[in-house]
Amino acid sequence: MAEELGRSVRGRQRIEDLERPQLDDRAYRIITLPNQLEVLLIHEAGTDKASAALDVNVGSFSDAPDMPGIAHAVEHLLFMGTEKYPEENAYNQYLTRHGGYSNAFTASTSTNYYFELSYPSSTPASSQSVTPDASQINLVESKEESPLWGGLDRFGQFFIAPLFLEDTVDRELKAVDSENKKNLQTDSWRMHQLNKALANPDHPYNHFSTGSYKTLHDEPIARGVKIRDEFIKFHSTHYSANRMKLVVLGRESLDTLEEWVEEIFAKVPNKDLGQNRWDMPVYTEKELLTQTFAKPVLESRSLDLQFAYRDEEKLYESHPSRYMSHLLGHEGPGSILAHIKAKGWANGLGAGGSTLCPGSGLFTVSIKLTDEGLKNYKEVAKLVFQYIGLMRDQPPQEWIVEEQMRISEVEFRFKQKSPPSRTASGLAGIMQRPYDRKMLLSGPAIIKKFDANLISEALTYLRPDNFRMTIVSKEFPFELDQREKWYGTEYKIERIPEDLLAEIREAFESKSRPAELHFPHKNEFIPTRLDVEKKEVEQPAKEPKLIRNDENVRIWWKKDDQFWVPKANVHIYLRTPMTNVTARVSLLCTFYRELVNDALVEYAYDAEISGLGYDFTNHSTGLSITVSGFNDKLHVLLEKVLLQVRDLKVQEDRFTVIHDRMMRSLRNWEFRQPFHQVGTYSRQFKDEKSIMNEELLPELDNITAQDVQQFFPQILAQCQIEVLAHGNLYKEEALKLTDLVERTMKPNRLPANQLPTRRNLIWPSGSNFIYEKPLKDLANVNHCIEYSLFAGHRYDSVIRAKLLLLGQMTDEPCFNQLRTIEQLGYVVFSGPSFNDVWSGYRILIQSEKDCRYLEGRIEHFLNTFEKTLGEMSEEDFESHKRAMINKRLAKLKNLSSEATRFWGHIYGDSYDFLQADVDAATLEKLTKKDMVDFFNHYISTSSSQRSKLSVHLQAQAKAKEPTLDEKKTAAIAALKIILTEHNSSPDNDDALQTRIANVSSADTLSDAIASYLAQDLKLAQDVADKVLDEAKAALGVADSGLPAAPQSLDAAADVESVVDAGHPVLIEDVHAWKASMHVSSGVRPVRNLEEFVELVEKL
Ligand SMILES: [Zn+2]
């Protein structure tokens, strides 16, 4: 293996013998460049994707106190042009062209940047085996042939010579602002910030880290600060090669990768900066022993106990806090959760330690409460302390840690690859921590040793004088008198009353505890049989085999032939039309599912922590049970789940708890982010039958525990069984597992003509519909539009390929136009969209601008793109095709991704296992003319035959209108970008400044711009018109809203008679509208199922 070559060339040390999973065929090498930048190179011979990630050891904890969010703003701005590639979108264009993308995030102590791109599928993998010879021979791997080189070079420049292009500053700050606004109504952000705000003010944890236009633009400018200079200063103060960790993963040899990295990244300046540390408590005496009552946006109730803890970064061999989180967070018999669940007080519990930064940490116990639990939160807190007392009463238990060691060791040994970008980004972050380099992969995963002293030490942090409490609920019997500064969360904070503290101390110290609390039993689910019979095959099979296909049972099976892990996935589908008859029935099924899962929690917990899980859910077409993980004890868990599904005894008290949970979840649904809701509304216009949230809620109170008990056996009495057994399972085992299902459930046969058929509505040619829906959340300022165009039948492979290619071609330009230039909002998606048989194209925007305006901007974009497509060079067209083909042929990364693919095709009734290959072959044949014709017919706004329907979710609150000065600044910034895009240099800056400065009302801003373009720049009329049009769009005052006001649709009218592509029609009565639609043919197997039957037994 390559790692034996611990050579040292030019005095450079190379570490290659990293501890790794058994099946990991990647080769690793760690080097340090002369500028102290540490690099991990990963060679994966057959990978179809390459990735690189760079993590800088500076994050929001280093924000200047008077410019919160500056680290995050720098993350956004760093990517705005470099000396070598000055065009601001050069990087993203390059990545899109190679089927890739980039992303970045800012954490407390680090900022992480990464990208991923695809190798062309026609180029054969460079070397198939990782032999020492192969990596020693200098394979001819030219820079020109590999897309990775170009990606690395563009990426590297951001750390060598970023430009922070002036024109992009304002726009990126708006992107940051929009990101912050998107988070404002989200409870996880709100509660996290509240915890931070109530921490030690001297600790940077206390600050606000996202930033907003106000903190990064308005306020500093008001203080006379030149903001761009501040961003550049932040960068030059904190960014340094010795604080960076780079990971590069590709199919090139380690030597080639090393050469490339050296050539590019050795130029990153090194300033020998020290490592960041904050040696001060996150919570001091002042903040500890307080209780905070806080109000969430959504209905939820919880109790959090937070202990000041230590940073555990150096203790990675024993991970002492995992002993505590294992016991406190246990869900089996004897645990805190089992006890408080039995009392009807809780739905869930989590416990764990976290390192905030070098120097401090927290340990948190977080409990999801029921209504009763909320009333008894003091008792719950006392029970937690009783359990802590129980843990501290006895020395750390070696057998418990041994179980944890075994589980973590097995999980790591059979860990499967994660996708390149996740691998690269994750490892770059891990490299910032003090792991022995040989344990870079294993360190975070494995517990290596039992260290009683370190565990005892860890336990000393869990004391009644070292914690704070947070109670979250929509309602309290007293007023919440304070508001958190950044998110406006209402709360009240006070010292924990002395009498409660005394009770907690008593609970902690007393030896008399409820008998229900005890240590867990020995875990019987830890796998011991881990053999995999490896039979090399030339080509892994792309389809499962049908090994039984009789009256009421179908079994699909594939023994794994490429991933070689001792794991399996077993999917069981009980098909019936019964589960979706009415809203009430659908709700009964959901109750059934929740009650089964609730009853299994304690039992399944040991299995779950041993890498074996199950899932039981209801669908519109039946029920499904999935068991997946290490196959050794899979049948044990499956049997238990089947019995519970069959024999559920609905307990009145559990029903009450679940009823309450479902009520909250249904009510909360309409308060989710608009872009999470919009898909459901769109789908109701595609499905023949759909049950909406608002129809479920009123049924809730009409359902009793007895109703559920009486109803569910009816589903099981008659249904079809279909099974997929996949992974480390022999055919015999697949047959036996199915026997178990049949024997347990004993369903009557469901005749084929009673099986549910998947169909969709066909939008008539020439449709132009709008459905408007006011959003429920009165505080939300974001509108959301989903603009959908119908193209035809999903299983028409030519239409599907055209949609995929259209999605690929519009991805970057759509984002660039609607988000980057027009600043409509942080959430902009575009791409193909598929339902059961429905296929089409959609654009989704969440924005403070109203939906009719957004609709106009989308149509404007489609018009622009129509031109782009017409003028596209053959070369660009081919490269888009190539990128899409590569995406479709991307290799499956692990066993479960293959199971998910198979199951999707079985569950969807199409059995179209070879779809990816068919798509690639169909794409290959598409010509530019095909796409132009397709666009003109189905997508173009001037087509009289296209079918369009858009859903407009309307916000109830209005966003703050920008001031005139803000609009002026925005106008100047936008104009510069637009002019550059039109290859017209924005000189004569003074003239522009003067004209804009003289504007006295927002209405005349565009007139001033028009005069500037015509009189100062003397642009030709047609160019000037275009520039003006785009400038107006960027200012949010573009003329195009809807081409015409929508007319209402008379319920009695025949839809066909009112369709007119040029005139939108408003859907007011959804039911009547649906009734007037035609329905498509249903999904059928793409091939005769007999063809999948295994013909010759070859075992
Ligand atoms: Zn961001």
CA 88 to ligand 1 center in whole angstroms: 17
Dist CA 172 CA 163 (whole Å): 14
Instruction: Give the model's pLDDT for residue 408.
Output: 95
- Packing angle between helix 166-183 and helix 964-981, nearest 10 degrees? 120
H or E element, residue 905: helix 895-907
Per DSSP, the chain holds a count of helices (H) and strands (E) of 37, 28
Over 349-370, what HEC string results? EEEEEEEEECCEEEEEEEEEEC
* SS3 state at 284: coil
Ligand 1 centre to CA of 72 (Å) is 6
> Phi then psi for 383, rounded to 5 degrees?
-60, -40
* Burial call 1063-1084: b when 16+ CB within 10 Å, e when fewer: ebbebeeeeebbebbeebeebe
Closest CA relative to residue 56, chosen from 271, 313, 297, 284: 271
The architecture of the domain spanning 27-123+138-266 is: 2-Layer Sandwich (3.30)
Place of tokens 């903040």: 287
How far does residue 69's CA lie from ligand 1's centre (Å)?
10
pLDDT at 8: 47
Q: What confidence score (pLDDT) does residue 823 get?
A: 82
Mean pLDDT by 10 residues, the chain (1099 residues): 45 91 94 97 93 97 95 93 86 89 95 94 40 39 87 96 88 89 89 96 95 94 94 95 98 96 97 90 95 94 96 95 97 96 94 93 96 96 97 96 95 90 97 96 96 97 97 95 95 97 96 94 93 89 94 94 94 96 96 96 94 96 96 95 97 94 92 94 94 93 96 96 97 96 95 93 94 92 96 96 97 89 88 96 94 93 95 94 92 91 96 96 97 98 95 91 80 78 68 85 85 86 84 75 71 69 88 92 92 66
Asked: is 545-754 a CATH 3.60.20.30 domain? The reply is no
| Å from CA of 360 to ligand 1 middle | 25
From CA 50, how far away is CA 101, in angstroms rounded? 11
CB atoms within 10 A of CB 813: 17
C-alpha 160 – ligand 1 centre gap (Å): 21
Instruction: Give the distance (Å) from ligand 1 centre to CA of residue 889.
Output: 31
Residues 6+ apart with CB under 8 A from 485: 197, 208
Cα of 426 vs centre of ligand 1, distance in Å, is 18
Q: Which CATH class is domain 290-396+450-509?
A: alpha beta
Dist. CA 105 → ligand 1 center (Å)? 6
Nearest to 989 by CA among 1000, 1001, 976: 976
What's the CA-to-centroid distance between 103 and ligand 1, angstroms? 9
Separation of 202 CA from ligand 1 center, angstroms?
Answer: 25
**Ion ligand 1 — residues with CB < 5 Å:** 179
* Cβ(413)–Cβ(22) below 8 Å: yes
CA 954 to chain centre: 25
Distance 159 CA to ligand 1 centre (A): 18
pLDDT (0 to 100) of residue 10: 58
What is the 723 CA–ligand 1 centroid distance (Å)? 44
Cβ contacts of 1011 within 8 Å, gap of 6 or more: 995
CA of 245 to the centre of ligand 1 (A): 20
Q: Around 381, how many Cα atoms within 13 Å sit in the side-chain half-sphere?
A: 28
The backbone region for 1027, taken as left when phi is positive above 0, alpha when psi lies in -120 to 50, beta otherwise, is alpha
Residue showing tokens 């500037």: 1012
Q: Which CATH number fits domain 768-958+1042-1076: 3.30.70.260, 3.30.830.10, 3.40.50.1220, 3.30.470.20?
A: 3.30.830.10
Find the 76 Cα to ligand 1 centroid distance in Å.
6
The catalytic residue positions are 75
C-alpha of residue 113 to centroid of ligand 1, in Å: 11
